[in-house]
Structure formats: C-alpha cells, structure tokens
Amino acid sequence: MAPFLLRVVMQDIEKLEQELLTQIDEMSDLDALESLRISALGKKGSVSLMMRGLGQMDPAERQTVAPKLNKLKNTVGEAIENAKAALHAAALDAKLAEERIDITLPVRPETTGRIHPISQVMDEITEIFAGMGFDVAEGPDIENDFNNFTALNIPPEHPARQMHDTFYLPEKEDGSRQLLRTHTSTVQIRTMMSKKPPHRIVVPGRTFRSDSDQTHTPMFHQIEGLVIDKTSHMGHLKGVLAEFCKSFFELDEVTMRFRPSYFPFTEPSAEMDIRCTFAGDHVKVGEGDDWLEILGCGMVNPRVLAHCGLDPAEYQGFAWGMGIDRIAMLKYGIPDLRAFFDSDLRWLKHYGFVPLDVPTLGGGLSR
Amino acid sequence: MKFTVSWLKEHLEYDASLEELSDRLTAIGLEVEEITDRAKELAVFRVAHVIEAVQHPDADRLRVCKVDTGEEVVQVVCGAPNARTGMKGVFAPSGSYVPGTDLWLKPTKIRGVESNGMLVSEREMGLSDEHDGIIEMPEDTKVGASFAALAGLDDPVVEIAITPNHQDALGVYGIARDLAASGFGTLKSLDTSSIDGKFKSPIGVNLNFQNADPLPCSKFAGRYVRSVKNGPSPKWLQDKLRAIGLRPISALVDITNLVTFDLGRPLHVFDADKVKGDIQARLATAGETVLALDGEEYKLDGDACVIADDANALGIGGIMGGELSGCSEETTNVFIEAALFDPISIATTGRKLGIESDARYRFERGVDPAFVEPAMEIATRLVMELCGGEPSEVVIAGNGPDWQKSVELRKARVKELGGIEIPVEEMVMILDKLGFAPEESGEVIKTTVPSWRMDVDGEADLVEEVLRMHGYDNIEPVALPTENAVAKPAVNAQQRRVRIAKRALADRGMMEAVTWSFLPRVHADLFGGVPDEIVLVNPISADLDAMRPSLLPNLIAAAGRNHARGFADISLFEVGSEYHSDQPDGQIMVAGGIRGGQTSSRHWAGSGRKFDAYDAKADALALLEAVGGPAGSVQVVTGAPEWYHPGRSGVMQLGPKNRLASFGEIHPRVLEAMKVKGPIVGFEIYLDNIPLPKSIETARPPLVVSDYQFVERDFAFEVDADVSADAIIRAARGSDKKLITEVSIFDVYQGDRITAGRKSVALSVRLQPTDKTLTEEEIDAVAAKVIGSIEKATGGSLRQ
C-alpha cells in the first residue's frame, strides 16, 4: 500500500472514532444505542469491516494499523457500555420518580380484635396462683341447693341466705329446686367430695345474684381459692394472699389489713383490705391513708369439711374469694361495671387487650 | 349500727383517741364504716355578740350589725327579724362553709353595704328546718365559744358494720364488752337490780301455740306501770336518739328505742287502757290484719306470730307494734313488753311482709335469751325516772329456749389453725372477758357459751374469738410450702382450649364479648328453645328469664345495640356456656361468633365486601386448627340448625354423630324477630366435642420432603349446579391417593355461557412424586384417572 493510502486509512480510523464517540454521546435511548453498537461493532459494522481489511495488509502496515483499530474498537465499546449504564441509571431514576407514592396515606383497614378485660384478668390471676402450685378447677353454673348452701354451712333459714339473692329454677316433683350458683364456693364442695386431699385449687367462673344497680349486675365473676391439707393455717393464708397482691398489682410491698368478718363456710373468717389512695374516680393501690376491701377469706369451717366427708380432726385448710370484675375495674381504672356486659364495640376496643398479650409469670402479667 | 362516743363511754371506761377507738373496732371485726364528727364540721361556728344593729339605709328588711366575734369586730348585713343590739348569736366568718345552704362565705356588699360573714339560723347550719330567725344564745354565753360544744354536738357518731353472727354488738353495751375483751378499756357494770312491784298486773300474759316447735314466741314478760305522765323525753335522750338518726316521739316510746340500741334488746309499750283483757302471743289466723305503727295495714298468714288481746291482734310480734294500742301523749297507764321471738319465724314473717324494723333486725339474728328480766327492770327504772308512775309485779309466760352450751378449746388449736403462738393465760383472759367462763383442764380450756353469743357452737369459733381479740394483724404471713418439685400445668386440656380459642378469634379481628347467661325466652325459642326446667322462677327482669341455649342470640342483640350507635361493621365472639338442662352435663362449652356489615370500611384502595357464610366457615376452620382439632379432615355438610339460612349454612362433623361446629348466614326470620338488620353470619364451635390432640410424640410424624418437582394440571368440568365442590375435590383426591397431594378449586362459573342448571368448576391438581420425575405418559395417565373419577362421581363432563 502506498504510504499516502496508509495515512488515509489512519485518518479514516481517527475520523470514525470521532464520529462514533459523538454519536454515542448524543444517544438518548437504549434501542438507538443498541442499533449504533451493531452498526459499529456488529459483524457488518463499520469497525468490524475495517478490522477485516487488516487481512489484506502486509505485516508492516498491519503493525501500524492493528493497534489503532484495536484501540478504536475498545474505545467505542467502552463508550457504548458507559452510555448504556448511564441511560439505564437515568431510566431507573425516571421510573422511581414516577413510582413515588404518598406514604402518609392511611394503611388499608385491618380489623383488630380484643380480649375482654374479664378474660385477661382471669388469666392474670390464675397465672399467679399457678406459680404457687394451684390447679384451675371449674364447676357448673346451675347448681343444687346442697352445693351452694347446705354443704357450705348455710342452712335454709340462715340470715346469710338473705345476703345471697338467689336465682331459682322451677321446683321439681320431689320439692328440690336447682339454682344459679351465687358464688364459686360450690366448686370447693365438688372438689372435696370427688377427690382426696391435698387440694390446692383456684376456681374462676360466672356467678349470679338477683341484684342490679349502679354497682351490681345479675351476673358477675368470682375467683375462689382453696387449700386443704393437714397443716396449712392462717399464716399461710396471709402469705398466699400477700404474694398474690404483690404480683397482681405489681408492687414490691403492699400493706394489708385482716379484719375479722363472718362467712358461714369459714371459721375464723376475715376480710382483707389493702392500702390505697382515692383521687377523684381513680384509686391508687398500695399506699395511702385509705383501705380498700379486696376479698373475703378464712379457715375452712370444720362443718364444711364434715359435709364433704373429710375428718376435721385430720384435715384443715383455708379458702378465699374475690370479684374478678371489681378487681379488673380497680387495676385498669374501668369506671362502670355494667359496661362490661354491654358489648359496646368502643368499650371493647378501649378496655380490651390485644390477643398476643398473654399474661405469663416469666414475660410479665400486665401491660 | 350507730352510736356516739359519749354513749360508749357510759359503758366503757377508756382513755384513747377517736382514731385508736376506730382502729380497734375494725381490728376486732366491728368494721368502722363512717365517723361523723359534727364538732369538726361546725368548728367555725362560734358565739358572737351583736354590739349594734341598725337599719340598712336602702333595705327595709335588712339590718347592719357590728359583731364582736371575740377576735375582732366585723360588719355583717343580716336579714333576720330577731337580729338586734345586744343579742348573742352564732357567727360564721368569711371563708366558712355553710352546710345548710351549701355555700362558701366571702366578703360581699349587700345593697351597697359591706358584709363579712354571717349570723346563722339552725337551717343554715344544717341542724333543723328552723329559719324564722338567727339562733339566739343565752345572755351569759361566752363570746368566741364553740357552738357545737354548747349544743352538745361535739360527740362524734361512729357507724359500724355488723356481721350476721354479731347480734351481741347490736347494742352499745355489747360493743363496749367486745372492746374491753380486746384490752381496750374497762367495762362498767349494768344496774339490773329488780324493782319491787307494788300491785298485781291487771293484764295477764299467755303463750298460745299448739304443737309449735320451736315456739314462735318462747317467753313473754310484761309489767303494768300506772299513773305515768308521757310527753316529750328529756333533751339528753332526744339528743342521743337524734345523733344516731332516730326521731324522738315520746318518753315511753323513746325508752324502748334507747334500750334497743343500748342493750340490743327490743321492747314494746302498750297503752294499757287500750288493751282488752289479757295479752297473748299466738299465730295469726290466715287473713287477719294488723294496722302497724308505720300506718300500714298488713294482712298476715297463719305462720305469723301476733301479740293480741282478748279481742284483736295488737301487733306483729317482734317486728312492729300496732297503731291502735300504741302509746300517745295521753297515755297514763303503760304495759311494758319484753318478749323473746324465734329468729326463723321473725325472718320468715318479716320477709313476707317486707317490714324492716330495728326489732326484726335484732330478733332474726337472735336476742340474748337470758336478758328478758334484766331488760324489764332497766326499762321500768327508765319509765319511773322519766314518766313517774307505779310498777306492778312482772308477769311472765314461757321459759325461753334452751340456750346453754359448753364448748371445749384444745389449747394447741389456736396455733394449729391460727399460725400464731398465744399464751394460755391470754386465751383464758380473753374468753373470760367475753363471758365464756373459761376453765383450764389439762390440754383444753372448758367454756360455757354466754347467752348473748348464740353463734358460737364449736372449737373453731373459740379460736376465732381468741385470734380476733389478740389481733389478726399479729399473724405473720408464711409462704405456702412448694408442693411439686416439677412444675405442671394449672389448666387441663379443655381449659387450655378455651383460652386458646379466645385469643385465636381475637387474633382474627373479632372482639371478645361477655354477655349474660340468660336471655328473653322468646329469643331462646328462635334458637331451638329451652326446657321449662331452665327458665328462672325469679328473673331480674321478665326479659332475662331463660338460660341461653346458644351464644348467638345475645351476640346478635349486641350487634343490634351497636347498629343503633351507628356501627354497622361487627365482629363479635364469646367463649362460654350454653345450657340445655338443669344438670351439669346440660351445660356445654361453646365458642360462638358473629360478623355483619363490610369486611373493611371504605378506603382509598377500594372498599371491603360484605361478610358471607364463607367468612363464618373460615372462622370455624381456623378455630378448629388453633385448638388442635381436625381442621383438615373434618366433613362439611349441610344440615345446620334452624336458626341458620337453610341454603347458606353447614355443619362440620366427624361422622354423623359428632358435630364439631355449625356455621353460616343467620336465618333472616331470626334477625327479623330480633329486629336486627342483616345479613349476619355466625358460627358455633362445640369445644367439648373436638377430640383432644394426640400426645406430643405422635402429634407430628416426621416431615418427609420429596427431592422431585411436583407437577400441576388444571381441569374444568361442567356439572349439575347442585353438585358440591366437596364431592369434586374428594373424587379428584381419591383417583390417586399416593400421587395427588393437593386439589384446589380456582374458578366456579354459572351463567349465560353455560347450560341453565349447570355450572363450570375449574380445579388444579398437584402431583408429587417421591421416587422419580414423572414422564408425560405417567402424568397423562393420572389426568385420565382424575377425569374418570370426577365424571363418575358427579355425572359431569370435562369441558373441552
């Protein structure tokens, strides 16, 4: 090849490089860039055609032209790749900009359920007593007179029967009539009559009394405790209840007061008060100048033991009972008892507990 | 039971503060409910001297007074007609609370004249209705002296709660005795010495009961006092009665009230001139009427005990005296009754007649049977003191009940039951002060129960007496010994299930409700009804008379209440009992729930849909799964109870005899009857019927995963419209139980593009080989089996 031709070839290469780089620079979409790549670097592309021309050159010329062509190919290839990446990035930016959403819009509505405070507090209380080795026992709501009264040392004309405004079911041919249990103490009787001591049970459940006003509902909930063995005494009773109060109200210390009281089924009998402060409608438990009555308790009356076929000379123990609804109101500052049973969605949502708040001794009782 | 501190001090000598008294009362079981200290409330009201009272320049009825309060001289504008120069009145300074008008005083101007504080009337002090003028104090009263002290109002009133066993504390004397036994002061003795009768009572007494045991009235003492002068009782007696909320009537009547509250001993006084012949206690004749002292006429039945003269029933024995034989200001001869009535008889009659009286309250708890004659002497003495007169001899009928009992206390029992060591000397001392006449004898203390403690009849009672006087608060709390080294669950499998059910349903977005166990019987009737044996005889109201046979009606009623408040989207559940008989096995544990309205409220991304029967089905299945029930293998068939929509409901069962759940849309007829807007869907899961999960070892067999890819094939069949999806799924599964692991329905079509009465069901079948990859031929062979099986089972055909 004549030297001047060689010069022309070299100039063509440079010119092509300039042209291609300019074109690449001007590319604004990926498809056009791809077409350009094919027209330059494809099998029949301008750069490829020039590369093919190398075969007809003599070795000396090839040594001059080949590096130049390789550089052209690399430069153009690189420029295309860079342009491609830039276009990709720009396209993504544009897409993302378009995909922007208003993250302040409210989420799609999800229905949220709640656990009723009575269930929650029942779980809390049974959890505490479970930790002290108590089993949960239950019994029927419809009871007979013996289990609800007679066995508990409440004979037919006892004044204590007036304290229980009892709901009765129709009299049967034999003169007996069933009733709605007025307390969970019926399960004390059922337990003692069906199993051998020792007993350590707590009994949560529905109870019924014919009473309805601001602070009474005809149905309410109680939890009862019973310990029967050969040695448990009032000191243990106080120990168990002190432990309960501390755990339930989450207090390091709680000042308790035991007042002598009267229940036909316990002797000696007591009522337990704890220290509190009344501030308006709210009660702060654990400290203060006032006393708040929490529960009734006592040593199981020997007559009750005898009614259940236990020898009072051999066995003894204690029992207590308290209102779940009331203690729930107290702990969680719920003002109106009657609202517990109204199923008002607003109330349930406000005072209810999220389902995964399962009270445990290890994980904490209350939220 | 109310009393004043000075009243208590008549029986008990003590030196302690009001607070100490209050604490001790509560500590021995006489719980203090309230202490009213009028002296504190009225402390600001003090005697003042009106130095000058002149006419108000601009008001005819007002006077401008210069008042010396003892501390300063202030100007007060006063409207009372008796406000005048030189008088002594009662003054409340600015800043005081005036109870009668419920106002706080502050410096003010009345018709342009400055006024500071107030000269008060009795009404303004809240003492009486007297408002004709301001209170006038005697000339010689010291200026600045406390009005409350001068008026005898500085005697705190204590109100205590009396437990049913403490009839002995229904008189101030009994309270004093209890306090003394606890070491709080010394009990003073009562003067019960007998008064000689001057003549034979012209009125005799008889008990007239045939074959009654126990006798409704077992002892009746009477005494005639002639030539008495009745009238208002003296101020000390009136003050005493007023302080505890009683209205003074006349000396004779006030005496009976005094003895009732002082000694817990109800009495009655007859105007002897209104009694015809003798007095007897007898049973009423059925339908007999008595006009009682409360002005009401009571119609008695044959169980009531009346006090009668030869002509008529005069009063209802032990409950309320009669109007016609009662004492009045004109009474000159009085007949005093001290009788003993049977507690059960009194309680029964009192309840039937609905009379609440101080006498009934005491007699039904048991009045001291040995205190009939002493009470008569005390009453006679009071009558003679206050009304003069001359007493007859006492006439008595009957001997009273046999009340003597002995109880032994083993010394060791106090520690065994009470958990506290109390010295034997202290036990003896306490029992002695309480009147138990204790005698030590080896390991026991022998006692005789005093007549006023009818409630004590066993050793445990004596333990309580000793402990309560020693103080419950002295018992040290002790931890219960740990019984089991290894922790075991406190709840059994069924109880655990109830807990899980609640949380599972709440987790599905439902609100837990707790509704009454009873409901209107008409509602019960909509849900299968209840037998008569579980309809309450005495419901709290007529519409809560039947025990619920289902959880749904109360939940539906709750939905109605929420609708009325404007909330239409409802998801409520309850886990509780339904009742089918009056026996324990008639009560079964159910998880029930309802949903109504939209699945979600309207929102920017679209709105929810209406809840339908499939939502209730999903709830039921989810719950079965949550409690470890057979959610995967349960059969779903039609035949739900009548309160469900017949075409949109079903039951889940394990064989025809074991129904686990019912679900579906609530029958529109039921909702209409309950006046609740539908549609509402619901479910009832019978928790007790669900088989308990297997043991931990067998509950989960080892997991087997295949190394080979599964293959899915889709099919569409045209079948009769009433062919159930379940039948198609079962047929598909059954065609190759080994290879086919899942069948799902992804489309159901019924409409224009298909023959009427037919539907198209599209399903996807998954084949999971375990030992090799399936070839096309093998897949085709299974597909052919699926088609054959479904066509055979349903009479349908593959859609081409």
Across the interface, whether the CB atoms of A218 and B516 are under 8 A apart is answered: yes
Least reliable range by pLDDT among A17-26, A45-54, A321-330: A45-54
Q: Does domain A117-351 have CATH number 2.60.40.10?
A: no
Q: What is the pLDDT of residue A223?
A: 96
The span from the CA of B508 to the CA of B502, in Å, is 10
The residues with which B60 forms a beta bridge, in sequence order, are none
**Alpha-carbon distance B604 to nearest alpha carbon in chain A (angstroms):** 8
**Alpha-carbon distance A306 to nearest alpha carbon in chain B (angstroms):** 13
Question: Given the DSSP bridges, would you call strands A219-229 and A256-260 parallel, antiparallel or unpaired?
Answer: unpaired
Across the interface, whether the CB atoms of B347 and A162 are under 8 A apart is answered: yes
Question: Given the DSSP bridges, would you call strands B587-596 and B570-579 parallel, antiparallel or unpaired?
Answer: antiparallel
Model confidence at A53: pLDDT above 90:
no
Alpha helices in A42-114 (DSSP H): 46-53, 59-98
Closest by Cβ to B603, choosing from A108, A211, A219: A108
Contact B83, B53 (CB under 8 A): yes
Residues of A in contact with B460 (CB under 8 A): 267-268, 299, 301-302
CA distances from B6 to B9, B184, B206, B256, B547 (A): 5, 15, 40, 20, 55
Tell me: the pLDDT tens digits for B107-124? 989 888 899 989 998 888
Residue A306 forms contact with B (CB below 8 Å):
no
Q: What is the pLDDT of residue B481?
A: 87
Q: What is the pLDDT of residue A190?
A: 96
Q: What is the pLDDT of residue B219?
A: 96
Across the interface, whether the CB atoms of A130 and B534 are under 8 A apart is answered: no
A 161-200 → B contacts, CB under 8 A: 162-163, 167-172, 177-178, 180, 198, 200
Residue A206 forms contact with B (CB below 8 Å):
yes
**Average pLDDT rounded to a whole number, residues A79-101:** 91
Across the interface, whether the CB atoms of B584 and A140 are under 8 A apart is answered: yes
Question: Given the DSSP bridges, would you call strands A199-208 and A135-136 parallel, antiparallel or unpaired?
Answer: parallel
Contacts with A223 (C-beta within 8 Å, 6 or more apart), sequence order: A122, A125, A126, A184, A202, A203, A204, A205, A321, A322, A324
**Alpha-carbon distance B58 to nearest alpha carbon in chain A (angstroms):** 45
The span from the CA of B42 to the CA of B146, in Å, is 8
Residues of B in contact with A345 (CB under 8 A): 511, 562, 565, 567, 570, 572
Q: Which residue has the higher pLDDT, A283 or A225?
A: A225
Q: Point out the residues of chain B with pLDDT beneath 50.
A: none
First to last CA, chain B: 93
Tell me: the pLDDT tens digits for A165-189? 899 999 999 988 999 999 999 999 9
| Strand (E) or helix (H) holding B150 | helix B147-150
**Average pLDDT rounded to a whole number, residues A115-128:** 96
Q: Looking up tokens 């003191």, which residue turns up?
A: B385
Dmax of chain A from CA atoms? 139
The span from the CA of A139 to the CA of B627, in Å, is 22
Domains of chain B: 2-37+156-187 (3.30.56.10), 40-150 (2.40.50.140), 205-397 (3.50.40.10), 406-471 (3.30.56.10), 493-689 (3.30.930.10), 704-798 (3.30.70.380)
Domain ranges of chain A: 3-98, 117-351
**Alpha-carbon distance A135 to nearest alpha carbon in chain B (angstroms):** 4
Contacts with B215 (C-beta within 8 Å, 6 or more apart), sequence order: B207, B209, B342, B398, B401
The span from the CA of B223 to the CA of B268, in Å, is 11
Q: Which residue has the higher pLDDT, A2 or A64?
A: A64
Tell me: the pLDDT tens digits for B443-487? 999 999 999 998 898 999 999 999 999 999 999 999 998 766 556
First to last CA, chain A: 94
The span from the CA of B21 to the CA of B411, in Å, is 30
3-state secondary structure of A323: strand
Instruction: Please spell the DSSP secondary structure of A249-262, one letter per residue.
Output: HT-S---EEEEE--
Across the interface, whether the CB atoms of A157 and B344 are under 8 A apart is answered: yes
Mutate to test the interface with B, among A259, A316, A353 (most CBs of B within 10 A): A259
Contact B699, B678 (CB under 8 A): no
Question: Given the DSSP bridges, would you call strands A256-260 and A266-279 parallel, antiparallel or unpaired?
Answer: antiparallel
Tell me: the pLDDT tens digits for B762-773? 999 999 998 889
Closest by Cβ to A234, choosing from B364, B475, B584: B475
**B224: closest CA among B85, B83, B331?**
B331
CA distances from B625 to B195, B496, B652 (A): 86, 14, 13
Q: Cis before residue A359, ω within 30 degrees of 0? A: no
How many beta-carbon contacts under 8 Å exist across A and B? Answer: 269
3-state secondary structure of B366: coil
Contact B391, B335 (CB under 8 A): no
The residues with which B570 forms a beta bridge, in sequence order, are B596
Across the interface, whether the CB atoms of A169 and B534 are under 8 A apart is answered: yes
Question: Given the DSSP bridges, would you call strands A316-323 and A290-300 parallel, antiparallel or unpaired?
Answer: antiparallel
Q: What is the pLDDT of residue B487?
A: 64
List of E strands, B351-471: 390-397, 406-410, 439-441, 444-448
The amino acid that residue B91 corresponds to is: F
3-state secondary structure of A275: strand
Mutate to test the interface with B, among A124, A167, A223, A334 (most CBs of B within 10 A): A167
3-state secondary structure of B290: strand
Q: Cis before residue A268, ω within 30 degrees of 0? A: yes
The span from the CA of B778 to the CA of B279, in Å, is 112
Model confidence at A49: pLDDT above 90:
no
Contacts with B228 (C-beta within 8 Å, 6 or more apart), sequence order: B252, B331, B332, B333, B334, B383, B387, B388, B389
